[in-house]
Protein backbone atom coordinates (compact mmCIF):
# COMPACT_ATOMS: atom_id res chain seq x y z
CA UNK A 1 0.00 0.00 0.00
CA UNK A 2 1.34 3.43 -0.92
CA UNK A 3 0.88 4.94 2.55
CA UNK A 4 2.89 2.12 4.12
CA UNK A 5 5.73 2.67 1.69
CA UNK A 6 5.72 6.40 2.41
CA UNK A 7 5.76 5.77 6.16
CA UNK A 8 8.75 3.48 5.82
CA UNK A 9 10.59 6.09 3.79
CA UNK A 10 9.87 8.77 6.39
CA UNK A 11 10.92 6.50 9.22
CA UNK A 12 14.14 5.53 7.44
CA UNK A 13 14.97 9.20 6.95
CA UNK A 14 14.27 10.00 10.61
CA UNK A 15 16.20 6.97 11.79
CA UNK A 16 19.14 7.92 9.60
CA UNK A 17 19.15 11.43 11.03
CA UNK A 18 19.11 10.11 14.58
CA UNK A 19 21.80 7.56 13.77
CA UNK A 20 23.95 10.33 12.33
CA UNK A 21 23.39 12.24 15.54
CA UNK A 22 24.88 9.32 17.42
CA UNK A 23 28.17 9.88 15.65
CA UNK A 24 28.26 13.63 16.26
CA UNK A 25 26.51 13.77 19.62
CA UNK A 26 23.85 16.15 18.32
CA UNK A 27 20.49 15.85 16.65
CA UNK A 28 19.42 18.77 14.47
CA UNK A 29 15.86 19.17 13.26
CA UNK A 30 15.60 20.19 9.64
CA UNK A 31 13.58 23.21 8.61
CA UNK A 32 11.42 23.45 5.53
CA UNK A 33 10.77 26.69 3.73
CA UNK A 34 7.52 27.64 2.05
CA UNK A 35 9.31 27.56 -1.30
CA UNK A 36 10.03 23.87 -0.78
CA UNK A 37 6.36 23.19 -0.03
CA UNK A 38 4.72 24.34 -3.22
CA UNK A 39 3.28 20.85 -3.83
CA UNK A 40 1.50 20.68 -0.48
CA UNK A 41 -1.95 19.10 -0.28
CA UNK A 42 -3.04 21.77 2.21
CA UNK A 43 -5.98 23.71 0.79
CA UNK A 44 -6.53 27.40 1.26
CA UNK A 45 -8.36 28.10 4.53
CA UNK A 46 -7.69 24.52 5.70
CA UNK A 47 -8.51 23.61 9.31
CA UNK A 48 -6.13 21.31 11.19
CA UNK A 49 -7.24 19.67 14.43
CA UNK A 50 -5.09 17.88 17.01
CA UNK A 51 -6.93 15.45 19.29
CA UNK A 52 -5.83 13.25 22.15
CA UNK A 53 -4.87 13.16 25.81
CA UNK A 54 -2.31 15.00 27.98
CA UNK A 55 0.50 14.48 25.46
CA UNK A 56 -1.51 16.53 22.98
CA UNK A 57 -3.07 18.83 25.60
CA UNK A 58 0.41 19.85 26.84
CA UNK A 59 -0.92 22.44 29.27
CA UNK A 60 -3.07 24.33 26.79
CA UNK A 61 -5.51 27.02 27.93
CA UNK A 62 -8.81 25.16 27.57
CA UNK A 63 -10.90 28.20 28.56
CA UNK A 64 -9.69 30.09 25.51
CA UNK A 65 -9.59 27.24 22.98
CA UNK A 66 -8.72 29.65 20.20
CA UNK A 67 -7.14 28.57 16.91
CA UNK A 68 -3.66 29.80 16.02
CA UNK A 69 -3.12 30.96 19.62
CA UNK A 70 0.02 29.92 21.49
CA UNK A 71 -1.70 29.53 24.87
CA UNK A 72 -4.55 27.53 23.36
CA UNK A 73 -2.15 25.26 21.46
CA UNK A 74 -0.16 24.29 24.58
CA UNK A 75 3.56 23.67 25.00
CA UNK A 76 3.87 20.43 23.04
CA UNK A 77 4.05 19.03 19.54
CA UNK A 78 0.81 20.69 18.27
CA UNK A 79 2.29 24.12 18.99
CA UNK A 80 5.66 23.10 17.51
CA UNK A 81 3.83 22.00 14.36
CA UNK A 82 1.40 24.92 14.21
CA UNK A 83 3.99 27.69 14.40
CA UNK A 84 6.06 26.55 11.41
CA UNK A 85 2.93 25.69 9.40
CA UNK A 86 1.48 29.16 9.98
CA UNK A 87 4.85 30.61 8.97
CA UNK A 88 5.39 28.43 5.91
CA UNK A 89 1.83 28.74 4.59
CA UNK A 90 0.99 32.30 5.59
CA UNK A 91 -0.88 32.90 2.34
CA UNK A 92 -3.22 29.93 2.90
CA UNK A 93 -4.97 31.29 5.98
CA UNK A 94 -4.79 28.07 8.02
CA UNK A 95 -6.85 27.49 11.18
CA UNK A 96 -5.18 25.18 13.72
CA UNK A 97 -6.87 23.86 16.87
CA UNK A 98 -5.71 21.75 19.81
CA UNK A 99 -8.51 19.81 21.52
CA UNK A 100 -6.45 17.29 23.49
CA UNK A 101 -7.57 16.81 27.12
CA UNK A 102 -5.37 15.38 29.84
CA UNK A 103 -6.44 11.98 31.14
CA UNK A 104 -8.69 11.11 28.24
CA UNK A 105 -9.18 7.66 26.76
CA UNK A 106 -11.03 6.49 23.66
CA UNK A 107 -14.46 6.54 25.42
CA UNK A 108 -13.81 10.12 26.55
CA UNK A 109 -13.06 11.19 22.98
CA UNK A 110 -16.26 9.51 21.82
CA UNK A 111 -18.27 11.42 24.43
CA UNK A 112 -17.14 14.83 23.16
CA UNK A 113 -16.51 13.99 19.52
CA UNK A 114 -19.41 15.91 17.98
CA UNK A 115 -18.47 19.17 19.70
CA UNK A 116 -14.69 18.84 19.60
CA UNK A 117 -14.26 17.29 16.17
CA UNK A 118 -17.25 16.91 13.87
CA UNK A 119 -18.54 20.45 14.43
CA UNK A 120 -15.09 21.90 13.66
CA UNK A 121 -15.07 20.18 10.24
CA UNK A 122 -11.29 19.73 10.07
CA UNK A 123 -9.55 19.21 6.76
CA UNK A 124 -6.77 17.40 8.63
CA UNK A 125 -7.49 15.45 11.82
CA UNK A 126 -4.56 14.14 13.87
CA UNK A 127 -5.36 11.73 16.74
CA UNK A 128 -3.01 10.43 19.44
CA UNK A 129 -4.83 8.28 22.00
CA UNK A 130 -4.16 5.09 23.91
CA UNK A 131 -1.67 5.50 26.74
CA UNK A 132 -4.34 6.33 29.36
CA UNK A 133 -6.39 3.34 28.21
CA UNK A 134 -3.67 1.15 29.73
CA UNK A 135 -2.24 3.49 32.41
CA UNK A 136 -5.62 4.01 34.09
CA UNK A 137 -6.22 0.28 33.94
CA UNK A 138 -2.91 -0.41 35.66
CA UNK A 139 -3.86 2.15 38.33
CA UNK A 140 -7.21 0.42 38.90
CA UNK A 141 -9.24 3.35 37.54
CA UNK A 142 -10.44 1.71 34.33
CA UNK A 143 -11.24 -1.81 33.18
CA UNK A 144 -11.05 -1.46 29.39
CA UNK A 145 -9.37 -4.30 27.51
CA UNK A 146 -7.24 -4.30 24.38
CA UNK A 147 -10.36 -5.35 22.48
CA UNK A 148 -12.32 -2.46 24.01
CA UNK A 149 -9.64 -0.06 22.85
CA UNK A 150 -9.50 -1.45 19.33
CA UNK A 151 -13.24 -1.70 18.71
CA UNK A 152 -13.95 1.69 20.28
CA UNK A 153 -11.18 3.41 18.36
CA UNK A 154 -12.26 1.86 15.07
CA UNK A 155 -15.89 2.85 15.65
CA UNK A 156 -14.85 6.45 16.38
CA UNK A 157 -12.80 6.64 13.21
CA UNK A 158 -15.53 5.03 11.10
CA UNK A 159 -18.03 7.57 12.43
CA UNK A 160 -15.63 10.37 11.53
CA UNK A 161 -15.09 9.01 8.02
CA UNK A 162 -18.85 8.80 7.50
CA UNK A 163 -19.60 12.32 8.76
CA UNK A 164 -16.45 13.98 7.37
CA UNK A 165 -15.67 12.02 4.20
CA UNK A 166 -13.23 14.64 2.87
CA UNK A 167 -11.16 14.86 6.06
CA UNK A 168 -7.58 13.60 5.98
CA UNK A 169 -7.32 11.47 9.14
CA UNK A 170 -3.94 10.75 10.69
CA UNK A 171 -3.51 8.08 13.38
CA UNK A 172 -0.52 8.79 15.63
CA UNK A 173 0.94 5.73 17.32
CA UNK A 174 0.62 5.64 21.11
CA UNK A 175 4.08 5.22 22.60
CA UNK A 176 5.97 4.67 25.84
CA UNK A 177 9.63 4.69 26.83
CA UNK A 178 10.98 2.36 29.53
CA UNK A 179 11.66 4.82 32.36
CA UNK A 180 9.74 6.66 35.08
CA UNK A 181 6.27 5.19 35.46
CA UNK A 182 6.77 2.66 32.66
CA UNK A 183 8.15 -0.67 33.80
CA UNK A 184 7.91 -4.32 32.87
CA UNK A 185 4.33 -4.47 34.16
CA UNK A 186 3.23 -2.41 31.15
CA UNK A 187 4.13 -5.25 28.81
CA UNK A 188 3.08 -7.13 26.79
CA UNK A 189 -0.29 -5.32 27.03
CA UNK A 190 1.02 -1.97 25.84
CA UNK A 191 2.52 -3.63 22.78
CA UNK A 192 -0.82 -5.29 22.09
CA UNK A 193 -2.55 -1.91 22.25
CA UNK A 194 0.05 -0.37 19.94
CA UNK A 195 -0.52 -3.17 17.47
CA UNK A 196 -4.28 -2.60 17.75
CA UNK A 197 -3.85 1.07 16.81
CA UNK A 198 -1.73 0.05 13.83
CA UNK A 199 -4.35 -2.49 12.72
CA UNK A 200 -7.15 0.05 12.89
CA UNK A 201 -5.18 2.55 10.81
CA UNK A 202 -4.27 -0.08 8.23
CA UNK A 203 -7.78 -1.57 8.04
CA UNK A 204 -9.26 1.86 7.37
CA UNK A 205 -6.40 2.86 5.02
CA UNK A 206 -5.47 5.85 7.17
CA UNK A 207 -2.09 7.50 7.48
CA UNK A 208 -0.06 6.54 10.55
CA UNK A 209 2.72 8.47 12.30
CA UNK A 210 5.23 5.95 13.68
CA UNK A 211 6.00 7.61 17.01
CA UNK A 212 6.96 4.38 18.82
CA UNK A 213 9.46 3.44 16.10
CA UNK A 214 10.78 7.00 16.19
CA UNK A 215 11.44 6.89 19.94
CA UNK A 216 12.90 3.37 19.69
CA UNK A 217 15.58 4.90 17.46
CA UNK A 218 15.94 8.07 19.51
CA UNK A 219 16.96 6.16 22.66
CA UNK A 220 20.02 4.91 20.80
CA UNK A 221 21.27 8.52 20.93
CA UNK A 222 20.08 9.64 24.37
CA UNK A 223 18.48 7.71 27.26
CA UNK A 224 14.70 7.30 27.49
CA UNK A 225 14.44 9.90 30.27
CA UNK A 226 15.92 12.52 27.93
CA UNK A 227 12.95 12.14 25.60
CA UNK A 228 10.21 11.54 28.23
CA UNK A 229 11.06 11.79 31.92
CA UNK A 230 8.16 9.66 33.16
CA UNK A 231 8.17 7.39 30.12
CA UNK A 232 4.91 8.87 28.81
CA UNK A 233 5.02 12.67 28.60
CA UNK A 234 7.68 13.94 26.18
CA UNK A 235 10.31 16.47 27.08
CA UNK A 236 10.85 19.52 24.90
CA UNK A 237 13.24 17.41 22.83
CA UNK A 238 10.67 14.64 22.57
CA UNK A 239 7.93 17.00 21.46
CA UNK A 240 10.26 18.59 18.91
CA UNK A 241 11.09 15.17 17.48
CA UNK A 242 7.39 14.31 17.29
CA UNK A 243 6.65 17.56 15.46
CA UNK A 244 9.39 16.93 12.91
CA UNK A 245 8.29 13.35 12.31
CA UNK A 246 4.64 14.37 11.98
CA UNK A 247 5.44 16.95 9.32
CA UNK A 248 7.69 14.57 7.41
CA UNK A 249 5.04 11.84 7.48
CA UNK A 250 2.35 14.16 6.13
CA UNK A 251 4.75 15.95 3.76
CA UNK A 252 3.52 19.37 4.81
> 80-96 burial by CB neighbour count: b if 16+ within 10 A, else e?
bbbebbbebbeebebbb
Q: How many CB atoms within 10 Å of residue 68?
A: 16
Q: What local confidence, expressed as pLDDT, does residue 1 receive?
A: 47
| Neighbouring-strand partners of residue 47 | 95
What pLDDT shows up at residue 184? 97
Helices then strands, counting H and E runs in the chain, come out as: 11, 5
Structure-derived torsion over alpha carbons of residues 127, 18, 79, 134, reported in degrees to the nearest 10: 40
pLDDT at 18: 54
What pLDDT score does 40 carry? 63
Helix (H, G, I), strand (E, B) or coil at 172: strand
Looking at the DSSP bridge assignments, the partners of residue 209 are 172
- Contact residues for 229 (Cβ-Cβ < 8 A; gap 6+): 179, 180, 235
Q: Which residues pair with 95 in a beta bridge?
A: 47
pLDDT (tens place) for every residue of the chain, 252 residues total:
445 445 455 555 555 555 454 444 444 443 333 334 444 679 999 999 999 999 999 999 998 889 999 999 999 999 999 999 999 999 999 999 999 999 999 999 999 999 999 999 999 999 999 999 999 999 888 999 999 999 999 999 999 999 999 999 999 999 999 999 999 999 999 999 999 999 999 999 999 999 999 999 999 999 999 999 999 999 999 999 999 999 999 999
Amino acid sequence: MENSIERRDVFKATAAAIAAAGASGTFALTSTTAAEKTDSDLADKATILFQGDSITDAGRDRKQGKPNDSRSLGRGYPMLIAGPLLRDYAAKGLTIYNRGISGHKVPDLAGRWQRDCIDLKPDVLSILIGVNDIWHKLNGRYDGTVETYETGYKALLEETMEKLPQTRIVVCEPFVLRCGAVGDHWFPEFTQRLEAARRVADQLSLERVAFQEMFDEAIKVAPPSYWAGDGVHPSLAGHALMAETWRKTLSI
